[in-house]
């Protein structure tokens, strides 16, 4: 069973690990190491933290593993410290701030646990490590192999995505397998995109909707790891192949790999959220994001299917005068069927 739950899908790492082209010898070795590392996160909700009576200020700490694998490493920047001059450490610090700012300013949530959890991260993890991941308590960033991937702090959507896995853990705890696992990945993509869009001040129509933009080196024919607006189009490269994400239930991938295709089938709910955000217009974090956030706080099963999640978002959307837009979006990706109603059940 695949257990890697970092930003780079295991199917892509396996492909890179099998490359026999001398131009990508370092990348192949780095991918093999990333697969062997098998970092994990997600799968179980933490006990609900009681929001503190007073505001708990943001607390960030960035560590440096100095190319080792012992966590957390040496502290290089704590909350309020000036920039270090190490671009990875400073990008991580700023990315934590942007993510926390979205949660606090927009959703009145104090950190990912709503109780002021300090945001911890480690940069320069491993030697040419090809991934970034949330391990249940902190963020970890590799520097990339330099041939296919650059440093993983370079993409704000990646930082937001991985911290959003923590948000999922502290709310509904979507089980990291099959459709609930694909929803876990999709929700992380949603909030990763929202963090990036809010930091840039972009409307839904202005945003790229790319996850992991800037991770690939110039040698790769690709824009990002995933596209939420057009799943399956993020990259098309002679060496890496073509982005395999589906955008509709007609193309749902049945597989036992990648925990039942969690990084693949997340393209379907990703596309639904993009349709909601662009259908509503304006800033995606204001209404579309709020609907998704409130859905996480609701009575949703940790093993929710796409249909169950869709019904839950439509129910929440009723309170925001957006139910028709949300329903139409799920119908467009083949999840919401004409016979589906709020009272219907699904297995």
pLDDT tens figures, 152-167: 999 999 999 999 999 9
Residue 343 pLDDT greater than 50, yes or no: no
Q: How confident is the model at residue 39, as a pLDDT?
A: 46
Q: pLDDT tens across 219-270, in order?
A: 999 999 999 999 999 999 999 999 999 999 999 999 999 999 999 999 999 9
Q: Cβ contacts of residue 343 below 8 Å, gap of 6+? A: none
Q: How far apart are CA 184 and CA 233, in angstroms?
A: 21
Which of the residues 37, 91, 147, 162 is marked catalytic? Answer: 162
Residue 154: cis peptide before it, omega within 30 degrees of 0: no
Q: How confident is the model at residue 345, as a pLDDT?
A: 39
Question: Tokens 């410290």 correspond to what residue?
Answer: 81
Residue 338 pLDDT greater than 90, yes or no: no
Q: Average pLDDT of 202-214?
A: 97
Q: pLDDT tens across 320-335, in order?
A: 999 999 999 999 999 9
Q: How confident is the model at residue 55, as a pLDDT?
A: 86
Q: How confident is the model at residue 283, as a pLDDT?
A: 98
Q: Average pLDDT of 22-26?
A: 94
Q: How far apart are CA 112 and CA 7, in angstroms?
A: 18
* 308 counts as catalytic: no
Q: How far apart are CA 146 and CA 128, in angstroms?
A: 7
Which of the residues 263, 274, 283, 308 is marked catalytic? Answer: 263
In a 13 Å sphere around the CA of 7, the CA atoms on its Cβ side amount to 37
Q: How far apart are CA 208 and CA 229, in angstroms?
A: 8
For residue 61, list its beta bridge partners.
Answer: 78, 120
Q: pLDDT tens across 30-72, in order?
A: 999 988 875 443 444 555 556 666 789 999 999 999 999 999 9
Q: For residue 176, give the DSSP letter.
A: S
Predicted confidence band at 336 (pLDDT cuts at 50, 70, 90)?
confident
* 274 counts as catalytic: no
Q: How far apart are CA 176 and CA 260, in angstroms?
A: 9
Question: Tokens 């259908």 correspond to what residue?
Answer: 279
Angle between helices 25-37 and 10-17 (to 10 degrees): 140
Residue 304's region, left for phi above 0, alpha for psi from -120 to 50, else beta, is beta
DSSP 48-91: PPPPPSSPPPP-EEEEE-TT---SS-EEEEETTPPP-S-HHHHH
Q: How confident is the model at residue 51, as a pLDDT?
A: 62
Q: Cβ contacts of residue 219 below 8 Å, gap of 6+? A: 23, 147, 148
Residue boundaries of the structural domains of the chain: 10-332
Residue 197 pLDDT greater than 70, yes or no: yes
User: Options 1.10.10.60, 1.10.390.10, 3.40.50.2300, 1.20.1070.10; which CATH number does 10-332 get?
Assistant: 1.10.390.10
Q: pLDDT tens across 84-129, in order?
A: 999 999 999 999 999 999 999 999 999 999 999 999 999 999 999 9
* CA nearest neighbour of 161 among 96, 230, 245: 96
Residue 187 pLDDT greater than 90, yes or no: yes
Residue 288 pLDDT greater than 80, yes or no: yes
For 307, other C-beta atoms within 10 Å of its C-beta total 19
**Phi/psi at 113 (5° precision):** -100, 0
* Token reading at 330: 């799920």
Residue 211 pLDDT greater than 50, yes or no: yes
Q: How confident is the model at residue 57, as a pLDDT?
A: 95
């Amino acid at each position: 069973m695949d257990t890697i739950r970092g930003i780079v899908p295991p199917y892509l790492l396996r492909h890179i690990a099998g490359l026999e082209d001398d131009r990508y010898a370092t990348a192949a070795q780095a991918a093999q190491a990333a697969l062997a590392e098998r970092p994990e996160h997600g799968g179980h909700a933490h006990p609900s933290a009681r929001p503190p009576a007073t505001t708990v200020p943001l607390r960030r700490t960035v560590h440096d593993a100095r190319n080792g694998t012992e966590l957390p490493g040496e502290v290089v920047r704590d909350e309020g410290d000036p920039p270090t001059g190490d671009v990875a450490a400073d990008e991580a610090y700023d990315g934590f701030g942007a993510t926390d700012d979205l949660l606090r300013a927009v959703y009145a949530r104090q950190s990912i646990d709503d109780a002021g959890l300090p945001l911890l991260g480690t940069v320069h993890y491993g030697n040419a490590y090809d991934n970034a991941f949330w391990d249940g308590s902190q963020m970890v960033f590799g520097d990339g192999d330099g041939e296919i991937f650059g440093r993983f702090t370079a993409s704000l959507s990646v930082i937001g995505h991985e911290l959003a896995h923590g948000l999922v853990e502290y709310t509904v705890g979507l089980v990291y397998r099959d459709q609930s696992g694909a929803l876990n990945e999709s929700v992380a993509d949603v909030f990763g995109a929202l963090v990036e869009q809010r930091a840039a001040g972009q409307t839904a129509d202005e945003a790229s909707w790319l996850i992991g933009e800037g991770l690939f080196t110039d040698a790769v024919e690709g824009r990002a790891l995933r596209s939420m607006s057009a799943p399956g189009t993020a990259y098309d490269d002679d060496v890496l192949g073509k982005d395999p994400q589906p955008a509709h239930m007609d193309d749902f991938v049945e597989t036992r790999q990648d925990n039942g295709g969690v990084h693949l089938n997340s393209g379907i709910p990703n596309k639904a959220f993009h349709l909601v955000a662009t259908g509503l217009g304006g800033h995606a974090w204001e209404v579309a994001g709020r609907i998704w956030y409130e859905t996480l706080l609701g009575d949703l099963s940790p093993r929710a299917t796409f249909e169950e999640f869709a019904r839950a978002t439509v129910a929440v959307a009723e309170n925001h005068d957006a139910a028709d837009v949300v329903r139409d979006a799920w119908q467009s990706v083949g999840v919401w069927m004409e016979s589906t109603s709020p009272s219907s059940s699904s297995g």
